């Protein structure tokens, strides 16, 4: 048939993948003052006062609270920096990270 046209489609070589996101978790302890936890959450994670209070109280009551999600490197940097803010004042304040499902 003279009107038939063949179209070749070339499959892309590389697929664009979204980076896996990692959670930063705030862990409760019996020693760090509530107001200091709120200060750290505001400074390192740009939470407003209400958001920081809610995250702090959720960790206080339940043992742990998700603060935010980031790419792995950013999550680890922020968890380390926030933990270090407590360490400088001799508080056992702890932030950890874990990959999202
Ligand atoms: N439990 C602490 C207190 O009663 C406050 C606190 C809350 C500490 C959350 C850590 O992740 C935390 N002073």
CA distances from 94 to 20, 40, 44, 66, 80 (A): 23, 11, 13, 12, 9
Give the position, in ligand 1's atom list, of the atom nearest the Cα of 32. Answer: 8
Which residue's CA is the closest to the ligand 1 atom numbered 13? 33
CB of 34 shorter than 6 A to ligand 1: yes
Please give the number of the atom of ligand 1 that sits closest to the Cα of 31. Answer: 13
Q: Give the torsion through C-alpha atoms of 47, 50, 55, 60, to 10 deg.
A: 140
Residue 53's pLDDT is what? 98
Domain ranges of the chain: 30-99
pLDDT for res 1: 53
pLDDT given for residue 5 in this prediction: 75
For the chain, give the longest Cα–Cα distance.
84
Q: Which CATH class is domain 30-99?
A: alpha beta
Per-residue pLDDT of the chain (101 residues; tens, 9 = 90+): 556 677 787 877 888 989 999 999 999 999 999 999 999 999 999 999 999 999 999 999 999 999 999 999 999 999 999 999 999 999 999 999 999 98
């Amino acid at each position: 048939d003279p009107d038939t046209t063949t179209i070749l489609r070339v499959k892309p070589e590389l697929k664009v993948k979204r980076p896996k996101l990692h959670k930063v978790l705030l862990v409760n302890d019996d020693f760090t003052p509530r107001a200091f936890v709120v200060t750290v959450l505001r400074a390192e994670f740009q939470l407003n006062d209400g958001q920081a209070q809610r995250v702090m109280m959720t960790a206080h009551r339940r043992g742990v609270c998700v603060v935010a999600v980031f790419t792995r490197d950013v999550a680890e940097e922020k968890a380390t920096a926030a933990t270090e803010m407590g360490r400088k004042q001799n508080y056992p304040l702890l932030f950890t990270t874990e990959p999202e499902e």
